[in-house]
A and B are shown apart, each in its own frame.
Chain A
Amino acid sequence: MELLLSLTIGVLVATSTYLMLDRNVLRFLFGLVLLSNAVNLVIFAAGRLTAGAPPLIDAGEYAPTGVVANALPQALVLTAIVIGFGLLAFTLALVYRTFMTLGTVNSDEMRIAEPRDGRDEDTGRLGLGRANPDKPATGQEAGI
């Protein structure tokens, strides 16, 4: 069980790193989602894995008898999932709004807050084309 869990965490982290190296902000976001799930699993594993031993107290007892799962990491994971979900919803909305406004999801093209002082004419980059306020975004270029 531990081996399976650690392999899963490893694969998730590797995949998310690959996705987060992409210039496409949407893929970066998906990578972030995978990474946060990997971290949730890390916390879960940190509470020791005890299959089939829920932290329940027998009737008439004041403390659980025998080895039981640690309940705290599960509460932590639950909190982390909720917070992560809220942040994800916000970020998705932000990426969508940014795409509609700037017409690109390529992080290299997002230079409005940090202009290149007009030196960006001949960089020879491959990309989706520069952010153009006059050209309405269609969604196809970004793969949305």
Chain B
Amino acid sequence: MSWLLVYPILIPLFTAVLAYLFRNSPAGRWISVVGTLALLLASVMLMSEVLDQGVVAGQMSNWDAPFGITLAADLLGAVMVVITAITGLATVIYTLAEIPERLEKLGFHALLQTLLMGVCGSFLTGDLFNLYVWFEVMLISSFGLLVLGGTREQLDGGIKYVLLNLVSTIMFLAGIGLLYGMTGTLNMADLHLAVRQVENQGLLTTVAVMFMVAFGVKAALFPLFFWLPASYHTPPVAVSAIFAGLLTKVGVYALIRMFTLIFDQDVGFTHTLLLWLAVVTMVTGVLGAAAMNDFRRILSFHIISQIGYMVLGLALYTPLGLVGAVFYLVHHIIVKANLFFVAGVAKRIAGSTDLSRIGGLYAHAPVLAFLFLIPAFSLAGFPPLSGFWAKYVVVKAALDLEMWFVAGVSLAVGLLTIFSMTKIWGAAFWPSHPDGIKPRLSDIPTGERMALMLPIVALAALTCIIGLFPEPFVQFAERSAQQLLDPTEYVTTVLGVQP
């Protein structure tokens, strides 16, 4: 078995332990930086392995599948691990300037690393119950990060986040129990074969809907998203950014994995349901964003609306639709984390995230204004940025199926996204500051300014690269979509036999 599969889980684990031991000294945060760099290196190596050899699978302790614990990486899993490492690294660098020492002494970096471990584990596991366990690792770390510091806002948002996510977890567990009762296996590749032999296909569809609800809560699908705008704007910006970038996407990833690999027996029902949920999610999310008046809350609602596009790509269930979903997933993580980073810098120099209480960013911090425009336009879908290609592929897939209404709605949602972005621009960047403050980037000490701006510049550059040279990325998404739609390679690699 390949050790490359284990590194993305082991590295954050060791980093977390070391960072916790050194939490009282400045060494802790540098351990976190180095650990995340190592994670990035390991994930890129895993990626090149998957590109070379196709699906990589490993059985822990040499217990053959389906009896042992399986780790498996196909193209989708590998790219998600890479993007997790990139976002993680950007966040860790950003926290160097943003997280007060008080939180570091409480073990902030250890929690951040266990969060990365949980996310990587979720992407790499090939076993349903282990997915549940990795979700829990991820959840408990995110609970900790969310309420660390314990301000009134954080506790208020934290309660809703914790309770609603626990409901989804319990739903997930019930689904696992019932699925095991029907098929007698929890290995995902084995389940792909086993669900075809279940006599009571109606019951299987019921279980599929339970999984849909469970992952729908995690992914913030309509009508299960209320915990997200209630909580994502309350913790420190770096935490918001990594949550916004990664956590909901784990839900989307799980949806894609389950509804291509296992629950593809009743596509007419499940994927139609997903389609309409996706459409309503897009609309409600963007309307919520248009109604909000706070920088970070607008961005939180945008996550919901963008989740709609990704699930739409999955729900169309055509090769092109899945290409769109995968491409969108990758593009969105980069863009969304970046927007939150910009919001954090804006708060730092202008004093607030409430749009009516800030201003003057364009006049005094033009660099930041420019760096805001790149992810904002990308999110709204302006060519030639990455969001344009992502939206283009999804809309094209809908048009190919002659779903005019769905395509029309997704285009209209794009327009409304631009509207809410201009709202931020028109309130925070364009007019002068209501209190007469001149928000200058140069007011931040040089070292901290570097730590804040480096991730923003790097992620903006990545957005531009994907946007200007989409060809290799689309080709990658195409190969990944092929693997998802025809999981024969995945199944044979994991089970080690020809089915």
Contacts and interface: CB of A to CB of B under 8 A. Distances in A.
Given A32-B167, A32-B170, A101 B178 contact: no
Given A25-B163, A76-B176, A46 B181 contact: yes
Residue from B154, B181, B230, B234 whose CB has the most chain A CB atoms within 10 Å? B181
Contacts of B147: 94, 97
B224 to A, nearest CB: 15
Contacts of A112: 152-153, 156
Interface string B141-182: 001000100101111111110110011011001101110110
Interface string A32-61: 100110011011011100000000000000
A110 B178 CA distance: 36
A42 B133 CA distance: 18
A102 B156 contact: yes
Contacts of B230: 113-114
A113 B234 contact: yes
B218 to A, nearest CB: 15
Contacts, number: 101
Interface string A85-127: 0110011001101100110000100111110000000000000
13 contacts: A25-B159, A25-B163, A35-B170, A36-B170, A40-B173, A43-B177, A46-B180, A83-B133, A87-B139, A95-B159, A101-B155, A102-B156, A133-B152
A39 B174 contact: yes
A99 to B, nearest CB: 9
Interface residues of A, number: 37
A98 B158 contact: yes
Contact of A43 (B154, B173, B234): B173
Nearest to A73: B180
B159 A45 contact: no
A110 B150 contact: no
Given A98-B156, A113-B153, 4 more contacts: A73-B177, A87-B140, A107-B160, A112-B152
Nearest to B159: A98
A7 B136 CA distance: 29
Interface of A: 20, 25, 28-29, 32, 35-36, 39-40, 42-43, 45-47, 72-73, 76, 79-80, 83, 86-87, 90-91, 94-95, 97-98, 101-102, 107, 110-114, 133
B129 interface: yes
A90 B157 CA distance: 15
A94 B143 contact: yes
A67 B149 CA distance: 54
B233 interface: yes
| Closest 10 pairs between A and B when the two form their complex, measured CB to CB | A46-B181, A43-B177, A113-B157, A112-B156, A113-B156, A98-B155, A39-B174, A42-B177, A46-B177, A110-B156
Given A35-B170, A79-B133, A91-B166, A97 B180 contact: no
Contacts of B234: 113
Contacts of B324: none
Contacts of B129: 76, 79
Residue from A29, A45, A76, A102 whose CB has the most chain B CB atoms within 10 Å? A76
